[in-house]
Chain A
Amino acid sequence: MRHVVGVADFKVARKPGDIIVTHALGSCLGIAAHDPVASVGGLFHVMLPAGSVNPEKAKANPYMFVDVGLPMFFRELYAAGAEKGNLVVKVAGGAQIRDNNDFFAIGKRNYVVARKLFWKNGIMIAGEDVGGNIARTMYLDIGSGRVWLASRGEEKDL
């Protein structure tokens, strides 16, 4: 079965035939996490670095923000049977327009916050394709743990 993840949302799946996909990652980050032992995986499409810009929205939709949503996404993975030590984490997206002042660098800020959270929690990023000014579509195959990207009509494994 194919699950589609919208912006500020995630999906966790455990059936070997399941594929999770998220489209049009602009400055948003796609975070895929897969436990090959438990055969559990999830994909998270997150939009903004910090919930502090809007505490009300962070409460209503925590999955909009990396700092609030990422720990919750991982808790869902653990609840589905994933073990922290087995998780293979891959990150894509975080693109942005050309901006010398980094005023609009939401993509970069998303990535920085995510990296910091992973580092604090002792989680390694096994593969990443971030930055640039292209949109990406990200896939996770639960059976094999394969993560791949499609961008400008081309596919590549992560």
Chain B
Amino acid sequence: MMNIAEMTQDIGVLAPMPASVKRLSEAASKPDVKIGEIVEAVKFDQALTADLLRAANSVWSGAAREIDTVQAAVVRLGVARILGFATGKRLHNTMAGPCEAYHLGERELWRHSLATALAAGKIASFASTDIPASAFTAALLHDFGKLILARYHSAEVIGKISALAEKGQLYIEAERMVLGTDHAAVGGMAAKHWQFPQNLVNAIERHHEPDIDPNALQDAVHVANIVAKTLGIGLGSEQMNMEASADAPTRLGLSSASMEALCAAVLVELPQTEALFEVK
């Protein structure tokens, strides 16, 4: 069994997160975030400021004129994209590599995470409930636990999960049977380690079980993961072996037609979002 203290230390080594991201995540989880709070969280982090200015001037933001202040970049990009970008930029190298134990090749986990993030960010325009701006980031990190678990277990051990899943076991339950934990729980642990707000931690931890103490953020990440899987992006050894919550779409006010429109929108916009994280 894994040692939690050891694993937490490992998360810090694998993906250290600057203080600015923690502050941003707190601001983004509030319903009434002020631009000033975002600017304050960003402005002392020079690397992040430079990245954000580049992003604000990139194709992604559709900028017509040069953006040269943090304030203008925040207005241009919006809170959801700023936090998503700040987090994603830090984790891009770690997440874009292969995660072979889970049968995810080069860039596959990254593309799956990004497609999920994009879907979570877009659900708000189809849903009838308000969804916190941190949905993009929670979705981006939902499978991060797979990267950590793959560092602790051999491909052979992870392979036992697939063997159980092929016999009809739900993948996440098979993970619990073999490892004593699952990728969602470990991902939640990483988010906790980065001191992200509790609702963001919960959304990662419960992305397969959004009916536990439900809220819009959890539901959005759950449905967004289904969108990425439906599109066949980065399925790995988990494949499409997950259970949909019967209530999450109702709580969000989604129709099956809006689900299809969401899939179409993600497919069309994914290349652009991918390119943004490659901007040097």
Contact = CB atoms under 8 A, between A and B. Distances in A.
A97 B240 contact: yes
Interface stretch (A34-42, A80-88, A100-108, A118-126): A100-108
A113 B222 CA distance: 27
A26 B246 contact: no
B232 A100 contact: no
Nearest to B244: A99
Nearest to A100: B246
A61 B265 CA distance: 12
A150 to B, nearest CB: 13
B71 to A, nearest CB: 34
Nearest to B108: A24
B95 interface: no
B243 interface: yes
Size band of the interface chain A makes with B: 20 to 34
B232 A57 contact: no
B68 interface: no
A53 to B, nearest CB: 5
A64 B265 CA distance: 11
A24 B232 contact: yes
A81 B170 CA distance: 47
Nearest to B235: A135
A135 to B, nearest CB: 5
B230 A107 contact: yes
A158 interface: no
A54 B261 contact: yes
B128 to A, nearest CB: 15
B64 interface: no
Interface stretch (B6-14, B134-142, B252-260): B252-260
Nearest to B166: A152
B270 to A, nearest CB: 10
Contacts of B178: none
Contacts of B61: none
A154 B162 CA distance: 14
A22 to B, nearest CB: 10
Which of B170, B230, B268 gathers most chain A CB within 10 Å?
A: B230
A53 B268 contact: no
Interface of B: 162, 166, 170, 226, 229-233, 235, 239-244, 246, 249, 256-257, 259-261, 263-264, 267-268
Given A24-B233, A27-B232, A47-B231, 19 more contacts: A26-B233, A47-B264, A48-B260, A48-B264, A96-B230, A96-B240, A97-B230, A99-B246, A100-B246, A101-B244, A103-B244, A103-B249, A104-B230, A106-B230, A106-B263, A134-B240, A135-B235, A152-B166, A152-B239
25 contacts: A24-B232, A26-B235, A27-B230, A28-B232, A47-B267, A48-B264, A53-B260, A54-B264, A95-B239, A95-B240, A97-B240, A98-B241, A98-B242, A98-B244, A99-B243, A99-B244, A103-B244, A103-B256, A103-B259, A104-B249, A106-B259, A106-B260, A106-B263, A134-B239, A152-B166
